[in-house]
Homo-oligomer: A and B are copies of this chain.
């Protein structure tokens, strides 16, 4: 092949095939093709760099470590977990939930208390956790509203499920998410029971939360806390979504202070100050609020799908 008219690409392809498919050594390939083993090595490196050789990890537990590192660096996070895109995007919620379950299971030191929010995403995480994922963790609800749960068959809330699977204790927040009048909210937050739960939430070792989208499909609308006019008004004020029931704009600022004052739960600053605040998010409709959360310091760990990760890494 030394004086044949074959171009370089063909040589690279042959070398890659002999090495990866035939299992031949670089020495053997060099002898076969009349090249030095050093040249063969360089061609293999070029084949990998140019994408002619593609090495892919194919497994439900696989991650995208390169994207994870980029996310950590871009947003100064202590941890990022990215689940590869799959051919069945309906599967993404389950796979991100499983990755979140894996991450919780490997938290070190094992937390005494975890504060959790609620929503479909965290419900999936609770479902993916294995029995005995930890030993005796107290799971505290950190924002209101879980009692207004209309889904039939969901007898135990996600906080209860997470706690049960760790042979731990669930501490539920017996309060609506949003009160009609400020006075009522202040009264409830002063009540010893509610105040005690909020205090335990504020002292948690780990915060686990997701975010909501500011649209008509919102759990707040579904559960009667907001109506369509409310949502329109919030969107008009620039809300991209809610964290712990608190509606924020792209910069992470509360868009409606009056509404916020009537909302029950710990403050967003508590997430910013926390040593370990874990944010789980899936889906294109949440890209805007996801960007806000990671860029305004509300989380130390993000767990998400590949499409969301790529969106977060795009220049705006």
In angstroms, Cα B63 to Cα A8, docked, is 16
Residues of B within 8 A of A4 (CB): 105-106
Least CB distance from A17 to B in Å reads 5
Residues of B within 8 A of A316 (CB): none
B57 touches A55 (CB 8 A): no
The listed residue (B54, B61, B63) touching A9 by CB distance below 8 A is B61
Which positions 266-308 of chain A face chain B at CB distance < 8 Å?
none
Whether A256 sits at the interface, judged by CB under 8 Å, is no
A59 touches B13 (CB 8 A): yes
In angstroms, Cα B276 to Cα A146, docked, is 78
Whether A196 sits at the interface, judged by CB under 8 Å, is no
Q: Given A17-B57, A20-B57, A55-B55, decide whether A102 and B6 contact each other with a Cβ distance below 8 A.
A: yes
Q: Given A55-B54, A57-B53, decide whether A133 and B5 contact each other with a Cβ distance below 8 A.
A: yes
B20 touches A55 (CB 8 A): yes
A58 touches B65 (CB 8 A): no
> Size of chain A's interface in residues, with CB distance under 8 A?
35
Q: How many copies of the polypeptide does the oligomer hold?
A: 2
Whether A191 sits at the interface, judged by CB under 8 Å, is no
The listed residue (B51, B59, B63, B105) touching A58 by CB distance below 8 A is B51
In angstroms, Cα B297 to Cα A128, docked, is 58
Least CB distance from A25 to B in Å reads 16
Knowing that A13-B59, A13-B62, A53-B58 touch, tell me 19 more A-B residue pairs with CB under 8 angstroms.
A4-B105, A5-B105, A5-B130, A5-B132, A5-B133, A6-B102, A9-B59, A13-B57, A13-B61, A13-B63, A17-B62, A17-B65, A20-B55, A22-B65, A47-B57, A54-B54, A54-B55, A54-B58, A55-B55
Chain A: residues with CB nearer than 8 A to chain B? 1, 4-6, 9-10, 12-13, 16-18, 20-22, 47, 51-59, 61-63, 65-66, 102, 105-106, 130, 132-133
What are 5 inter-chain pairs, A to B, with CB distance below 8 A?
A6-B105, A13-B57, A13-B62, A20-B57, A52-B58
